[in-house]
Structure 1
Amino acid sequence: MPLLAEQATERALGARCPVDLAGRLATQGDLLIGACQGTMPAHLAALLVALPEQDIHLPRSWREREVRQKVWFKAVAGFGQRPDFIARMGDVWVRSLEGRDADSTFYLVSAPFICSDQSGGRNEESAEPVRLAAGDCREAYVAQRVYQVRGDAAPRDVTDEALPAMPDIAEADRARQVVRHGRITLDHSKLQYGPAMRWFVQYPETAQKGGPRAFSDWNREHLAFVVWTGDRFELREKVSRSQWPCDPVAPGDRACGGFPDSGPDLFVTAAASAPMAASSP
């Protein structure tokens, strides 16, 4: 993927964007590369403030204050008439997803939605609670939810309809993953380029490598892609390179040679993707 262009959309919103090579390759966590810094786009800020108090374990007064601070964000080409945006505010990030209906916008929100003392023994491979800066809940698990906003209406939680669960894993495969100390992860890092995520298993470098679903140089095993279709996410076995772009590299470096794109990936093709047989949530 080429280095970022002039980022005119972000600059028009008053953001400061990288102008040199180091800035254009700089990362903000694993979610943003070469992002701009400025006030969060107004509709993203409004969505975060409007989330019901019973959903997110951060008081509305705290959110009202924080969305006025500078954040890292990027504009992304989407389905709608205006660009999508992805923005990060500490442990919270939000990705807008324009719907096929011009009056409807969806938002994928990653935030502390599950208080650790209310989790009921939550046990997910890659989840660790985060300490919260405000509110009655001191530690919470970060999770992803999808909200829909129609016109000026309040956001509606449509996660069950719009975001499929992790793909089913056969007992024998799960047992093998446990023996090899595999950790199931949902990769959000490509949301800064397009509306897709990826479920995969990460193994220690000391574990046995290879297998029919292995990909990359980093001992990973593919489970499924999660692709936005305009009104919901769907599970996909494979996607095209346009849906799963490689991270940018410095001039002269090998395309798709940066982490984590290096190595063979039989699940990213030149052809369009197709839904998996069992993709409904």
Structure 2
Amino acid sequence: MLRVISANLNGIRSATSKGFLPWAEAQNADFICLQELKAQEANMTPEMLALPGTRGYFHYAEKKGYSGVGIYARHEPKDVVIGLGVPEIDAEGRYIELVYDKLAVISVYLPSGSSGEHRQTAKFGFMEHFFGHLHDLSRRDCQVLLCGDWNIAHKEIDLKNWKGNLKNSGFLPEERAWLTRVFDELGWVDVYRHLYPDATGDAYTWWSNRGQARAKNVGWRIDYQIATPEIAATAKEAYIYKEQWFSDHAPLTIDYDWTL
């Protein structure tokens, strides 16, 4: 069994202060994919750099206290790919990939466009480039698993207040159509939806800090594990952990009947 976790930490230092590391260690996961480190290497303690029994791999943003992704892995990869080869994207620390014989595991953090038109433009630029990259990944000889915060709720079922967000970043028609193309044209599988096609409120992974959104479960499903079909078909069970709060996101765990 292969256990994979995706967790947007909204700051690894903040999440650590809230008990994330002991929880993560106790999961005995093969891979824990992290987003929004909001830290540089100099900020990372030994405990943050590697859980017991794992090694940590990271792509830090150049801007302090911003973005950044990482993966804790129990298995030594053949190769580590940091970034997408586009300087303006890679400066923000949004992509890291571990390559094995039969599998590639990726932690990715798509931009948010909610802070203004300039960031929405950057998000669309990322999406345009990333679609081509997803096309290339889907034609690899190995299976591929992308974990991360995609900052897009795909369908009405994926957020509580969908009618009120039709013109907001994260639920724009262009964003949703792009994600549909990822699934329908390129053949990627939304693994959680594959397991639970009708799940609504239980499926949310992010809640605003405003308006008691978490208490009222006014959430969004924007954290995904998106995979090539062969490994996606082996997914057995998914869990969204809400008993403790490490960030404004909840970790998404999926168990696969798969061996490296």
TM-score by structure 1 length? 0.30
Instruction: Name the one with the larger strand percent.
Output: 1
More helix by share: 2
Higher Cα Rg, which structure: 1
TM-score of the superposed pair, with normalisation by structure 2? 0.31
